[in-house]
Structure 1
Amino acid sequence: MKINITKKEYKSLLDIFSIGDWILNAHKVGNDPETEEYEKLEQKFYSYAEDMGYGDLITYDTKLKRFFPTKKFDETSKYRDLIDEFENDTFWDELIHRLVERDLIKQEGGVKNIMNMNFRERLEKEEPLEKKYATEFEANGLENIRI
């Protein structure tokens, strides 16, 4: 199969590969065999950078025998802003979710009691807690968090 893409679409793919790479590898040390196929595909697309007119955004390291995004790519691409937005939203969602879970376990007398609830019942009990935390964090951020 052959896929024809424009120069602009290729640039978008570079952003997508950077976003994917961040999600797959940001918190890992070393290579992960589970993500090897994605890395190979990324390298394949990076190898076309020069032909697509983006040799200034992707460079080849002869010692490591791999392609890498350049500093110019990092400085001119919007992928980093998209990742930052995602991580910020995820932080607040996860914080609220975990606090709600903690409070609900305490309120209902343990995990077992929550596991015995039907979906609707659990949702009805979670909703006011979620609203409470969402309202607090929207108004004050982390200002009132204490340990």
Structure 2
Amino acid sequence: MNDQNHQPSGIPIYLNKKEYRALIRILFKHILMFSNLTDQQTSKEFERINSMAERLLKYANDFASEDLVAHDVSTGTNFPSNELYREIITQINAYDEVNFWEELTQRLSERDLVKGRSFEELNESGMENHRQILEDRLVFYTDHFGEHGVENLYIINDPHHSD
């Protein structure tokens, strides 16, 4: 690790092979999950993390982790190997699947809580009643989507939908 091309700045961080591999995976999960966000602050953070990840990938040989890294000779850049990319995408897709259903059931349950009720009715019914309605709706949607998926979801008055 005393390679002249790897002049460290800042404080040294000592990692073993297992920790190095975990750090690379964490960085690339972050990069892949946030690469589509476009606001200025996220873009700056993304650039910093991407730059840091590329610097860390230069040490792959030192940690016997060449399988995690691909190298573009023409540009001199390092990036995750196809194997690592597939591993991370599989994990992100699994996360997205769970998150989608949780978010959908939560939002529909919250919608059902307020639907057809005035502010006064909601205020008078109390928090315990709200919790019970939300819990009942969450159970309903969780069971329904568990059995049917999105098969029964339709947009009312959708001109492109036909039964």
Normalising by the smaller structure, the TM-score range is 0.7 to 0.9
Report the residue type matching 1:42 in the other structure. Answer: A
- 1:118, distance to aligned residue in structure 2 (A): 6.2
Q: Which consecutive unaligned segments of at least 5 residues does structure 2 have?
A: 1-10, 156-163
Query: Which residue matches 2:133?
Result: 125
The structure-2 alpha-carbon separation of the partners of 1:129 and 1:107, relative to structure 1 and needing over 3 Å to count, comes to: farther
Give distance in 2, aligned partners of 1:49 and 1:109: 61
Could you tell me the TM-score, scaled by structure 1's length? 0.75
Q: Alpha-carbon deviations, 1:48-81, whole Å to 9, x = none? A: 1132222343134355553211223334xx3233
Q: How many residues align?
A: 144
Query: Conserved in 2, the CA contact under 8 Å of 1:16 and 1:79?
Result: no
Kindly report which structure 2 residues correspond to 1:1-147, keeping only aligned pairs within 5 A, or say none. Answer: 1-28=11-38, 32-61=43-72, 64=75, 66-75=77-86, 78-109=87-118, 120-147=128-155
Give distance in 2, aligned partners of 1:125 and 1:53: 55
- 1:88, distance to aligned residue in structure 2 (A): 0.4
Could you tell me the TM-score, scaled by structure 2's length? 0.69
Q: Alpha-carbon deviations, 1:92-147, whole Å to 9, x = none? A: 0111122112222313236x875898654432321111111011111221222233
Q: Which consecutive unaligned segments of at least 5 residues does structure 1 have?
A: none
Give distance in 2, aligned partners of 1:16 and 1:120: 40
Give distance in 1, aligned partners of 2:141 and 2:148: 10
* RMSD, matched Cα: 3.1
Instruction: Give the % identical residues.
Output: 25
Query: Conserved in 2, the CA contact under 8 Å of 1:57 and 1:70?
Result: yes
The structure-2 alpha-carbon separation of the partners of 1:118 and 1:74, relative to structure 1 and needing over 3 Å to count, comes to: same
